[in-house]
């Protein structure tokens, strides 16, 4: 994340506000009720949700600005991570929105896209 933060000229507020609201809503309704049972785990998940949301906002701001393949692949990877982790978070909260195939497919797609974004770095300016 720190490799591309200095290159961001403008944050996409049209994405940042809804994404942070979604993250806050998910954390408030599904994680906070369990904080007394598992304070460390829940605190870690909330912090992770914030970091992942920030990564999506930052990388999408950069991808729309530069239109470079490495930045586009990175945002695709982060979006798939967000989907995968949202499904896992809901499952942790006792809601099973999807089966393991969807969770693992989005997870592996995210890993692949992020890995490809780092390999493209040498091919672009």
Segment 12-21 shows an average pLDDT of 92
User: What is the tens place of the pLDDT at every residue in 90-117?
Assistant: 787 777 766 788 888 999 999 999 999 8
Q: What whole-number distance in Å separates Cα of residue 15 and Cα of residue 62?
A: 12
User: What is the tens place of the pLDDT at every residue in 54-85?
Assistant: 989 988 998 888 888 888 999 999 999 999 98
Residue ranges per domain, the chain?
11-119
Q: Among 50, 51, 54, 58, which residue's Cα sits nearest to residue 28? A: 50
Q: What whole-number distance in Å separates Cα of residue 66 and Cα of residue 89?
A: 32
Task: Evaluate if residue 1 carries a pLDDT over 70.
Answer: no
Task: Evaluate if residue 4 carries a pLDDT over 70.
Answer: no
Name residue, tokens 């006792």.
94
The answer to whether 31 and 45 are in contact (CB under 8 A) is yes
Q: Residue 32 burial by CB count (10 A; 0-12/13-18/19+): exposed, middle or buried?
A: exposed
Q: pTM for this one? A: 0.80
């Amino acid at each position: 994340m720190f490799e591309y933060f200095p290159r961001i000229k403008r944050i996409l507020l049209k994405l940042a506000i809804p994404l942070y609201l979604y993250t806050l809503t998910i954390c408030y309704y599904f994680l906070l009720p369990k904080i007394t049972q598992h304070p460390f785990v829940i605190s870690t998940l909330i912090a992770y949700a914030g970091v992942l949301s920030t990564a999506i906002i930052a990388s999408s701001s950069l991808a729309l600005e530069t239109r470079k393949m490495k930045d586009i692949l990175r945002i695709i990877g982060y979006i798939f991570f967000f989907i995968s982790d949202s499904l896992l978070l809901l499952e942790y909260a006792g809601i099973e929105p999807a089966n393991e195939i969807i969770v693992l497919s989005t997870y592996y797609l995210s890993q692949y896209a992020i890995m490809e974004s780092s390999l493209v770095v040498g091919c672009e300016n």
